[in-house]
Structure 1
Amino acid sequence: MRRRILLVLGLALALGATVTQGDWKMDIHRGGKVERIYLSAIDSLTFTGNLAPLMVTVPAGDFIMGDGEAWCGVDEREVTLTRDFYLGQHEVTNQEYMEAAQWAYDHGYVTATTSSLLDNLDGSTEELLDLDNDWCEIQFDGAGSFYLRESPSSYAQSTYPDGYDPASHPVKEVTWYGGACYCDWLSLQTGLPRAYEHSGDWSCNGEDPYGAEGYRLPTDAEWEYAAQWDDERFYPWGDEDPDCCRANFRLSDPCVGWTSPVGSYPSAPAALGLSDMAGNVWEWCNDRYTCNLGTLPVTDPASPGGGDSRVRRSGSWANLFVECASRDAGGESLSNYTIGLRAARTVGQ
């Protein structure tokens, strides 16, 4: 709908329509909220086919990773990140993932059935998205097209009895492989080298994610650094105790009962303009998982060891772990209704 409105607006401007303050306004309806823009305040419009989500710049720097209390975040160590990086302003939405999956399907990078989206690069057939689960809001029609639907699950239907638009909700039922592939699709679509090998251990740029040119999942350290920017706060919004006004998570009961549209909780570090760094859905990170990271200082840390479990961050609408330092794990093939992702990319690569 937003693209249709912008197209109409663009045609009007191209045809020389005259607008003045107070004459024409545009109401953008998104996530149950309305944003009003005066057309006279718009300098120009840019239409793009770029699949990449909106991203913010996180400056390089030092911080203390871990807080002495959080789940698998007890160890405190000084971490130096030497490179600025981009991080998704919000969690990847169903709409964004669907459009990228459609592009990848049209170019032969994936295969799909009505029950599953599968990788098709480097001989891989890993499952990327579990389409036949009630919790998945992305569907495939079996004839070449993906589409969105409301989840028929009792969670979604009881939370939104009058219906909801899944487009702006974060993608769910995506495996770690599905997160890595999404990042590679963005790279391929924009002419960048893809970061991940789709065979063996699926290393990111030969285990040097910071040196990757293309899009990738954020490292464990990058994610925490951005969440606590830039005062080593306990929660993304500060040090105040969590409540249902600050995040979509589970207190004694779920605050919402299902995911919220991305951007509904923008009280992440204000200087960065991130949203939903606590709750909504878990977010896959690049690193393999080890609970205890130790206390020795480290520069640009990447995966600490082997195994097929990967770090996930932020907690979810059904979980309590919303501290910046909280860390959890999931197998690379795991998918469920609480796991999504946020993309990253090193600046200047």
Structure 2
Amino acid sequence: MIRRMMVILGFALVFGASVGWGDVTWQMRIHGSEGVEYFPLADIDSLTFVELPAGFVPVPAGAFVMGDGEASCGMDEHEVTLTRDFYLGQHQVTNLEYKEVLQWAYDHGHVGANTSSVWDSLDASTEELLDLDGRTSDGMFETCEIQFDGAGTFYLRPSPRGMIAYPPDYDPSSHPVKEVTWYGSVRYCDWLSLQAGLPRAYEHGGDWSCNGGDPYGAAGYRLPTDAEWEYAAQWDDERIYPWGDEEPDCGRANYYPCVDWTVPVGTYPDAPGALGLSNMAGNVWEWCNDWWVCDLGTTPVTDPPGPGTTSHRVSRGAPWGYYAEGYMRCAYRAHHPVAGNSYLGFRAARTVSAP
């Protein structure tokens, strides 16, 4: 494991003295949720305090080996160095979270909608963002749990599939949003940026590039890159699965036939990733920023933005309706066209701004 890290401090600092025989050594005493740590002041050349957005986890910059030699499209192992600290959503974006920000975007004229679809209306874009009448692949069940009344209001509607899995009182609020296209996921990130007074990360037109092709330098919210997602999932010991090296089971992740629908985000508290990230395997695939190619090669890279334009985007993490355990490996790299389905969701990210 190759690891170089910057420390992100999100808690109080208390200075203390460590007294030796005839000498005084000043140390920093840091009180955290897992105890107290001491750092010699002589070894500290700077301190940076950053604001942690609600619902996000800080991920320090560093280096890791991407790929594990076994996972599909993760066979080739290569060293990746990420030079920027970033925030990653602690959980997948929920129906309620998406609905509330979508309502804000609609009220501000950023999107158009009817009872079957939501589409973009910024930068002359008309891409579909959310398929409101999306169905399971057999056409039997409506799967999008966000609906539009045709008069200006979005609301949540339990999917019939969810009601079968959770009788009798199924509430979709804390379940991950589904039927969101890749455009709809990056659009959500831009809405967060607009609400926070940050520059939008994405160009809505052309190839929808993130920050002109440099996602790591974007000031606003965005999707995690392919490399960032795997780096956070396997933090920081090259574990096979987000929870460790133990084989998947229904006590660690939601995959077929555990529930036969999504579970509320944050389920499986006994099997989080090392950073406290929930559901990094199972529940829904998660859109990433990158275009997809299978072979990434073995050459070491720094801050990789992914390949040029292809036909699919990277998706990670494995969904509720797939049985194969290999899909849940941290290194497994899936791909989908930009359209949404009942197995696809996302979590947001943001680069930690330089001081």
Give the TM-score category using the shorter length: 0.7 to 0.9
CA shift digits 1:63-103 (9 cap, x unpaired): 00000111111110000000100000000000000001000
Q: Secondary structure at the match of 2:313?
A: strand
Give the Cα–Cα distance (whole angstroms) in 2 for the partners of residues 159 and 269 of structure 1: 26
Question: Which SS does the other structure have where 1:99 is aligned?
Answer: helix
**Paired position in structure 1 for 2:83:** 82
Residue matched to 1:71: 72
Give the equivalent residue in structure 2 for 1:348: 353
Structure 2 counterpart of 1:331, from 337, 346, 352:
337
Partner of residue 255, structure 1: 258
Alignment of 1:295-306 (within 5 A): 295-306=298-309
State the match for 1:268 in structure 2: 272
Alignment match, 1:193: 199
4+ residue runs of structure 1 moved beyond 4 angstroms? none
TM-score, structure 1 as length reference: 0.82
Task: Please say if residues 290 and 305 of structure 1, whose CA atoms lie closer than 8 Å, have aligned partners that are also in contact.
Answer: no
Q: Distance in 2 between matches of 1:300 and 1:124?
A: 29
Q: Say yes or no: does 1:284 pair with 2:287.
A: yes
1:172, 1:181 → 2: CA distance?
A: 15
CA distance in 1, matches of 2:201, 2:212: 9
Sequence identity of aligned pairs in percent? 69
TM-superposed CA distance for 1:265, in Å, is 2.3
Distance 2:79 2:307 in 1: 16
1:76-225 to 2 correspondence within 5 Å? 76-133=77-134, 134-152=142-160, 155-225=161-231
SS at match of 1:158: helix
**CA displacement at 1:268 relative to structure 2:** 2.6
Q: Which residue of the partner structure matches residue 59 of structure 2?
A: 58
2:43 aligned residue: none
TM superposition shift of 1:169: 0.2
- Alignment RMSD: 1.0
The answer to whether the 8 A contact 1:284-1:312 is kept is: yes
Question: Residue 248 of structure 1 contacts residue 259 of structure 1 at CA under 8 Å; is this kept in 2?
Answer: yes
CA contact (8 A) 1:207 1:303 kept: no
1:138 maps to a residue whose letter is: I
Give the TM-score, by structure 2 length.
0.80
CA contact (8 A) 2:293 2:310 kept: no
Any gaps of 5 or more consecutive residues in structure 1? 1-51
Give the Cα separation in 2 of the matches to 1:285 and 1:172: 15
SS at match of 1:284: strand
CA contact (8 A) 1:230 1:269 kept: no
**One-letter amino acid matched to 2:96:** Q
Amino acid at match of 1:288: W
Shift of 1:53: 5.6
Aligned length: 291
Match for 1:113: what amino acid?
A: N
CA shift, 1:269, in A, is 2.4
CA contact (8 A) 1:65 1:225 kept: yes
Flag structure 2 segments of 5+ consecutive residues without an equivalent: 1-52, 135-141
Q: Encode CA deviations 1:244-302: one digit per residue, 9 max, x unaligned.
A: 1100012xxx21100000000232323x1110000000000000000110011000001
Whole-Å Cα distance in 2 between the matches of residues 269 and 315 of structure 1?
Answer: 15
- Alpha-carbon distance in 1 for matches of 2:262, 2:273: 21
After TM superposition, give the deviation of residue 327 of structure 1 in Å: 0.7
* SS in structure 2 of the partner of residue 239 of structure 1: coil
Q: Distance in 2 between matches of 1:53 and 1:262?
A: 15
Q: How far, CA to CA, are the matches of 2:186 and 2:100 in structure 1?
A: 16
Partner amino acid, structure 2, of 1:336: N
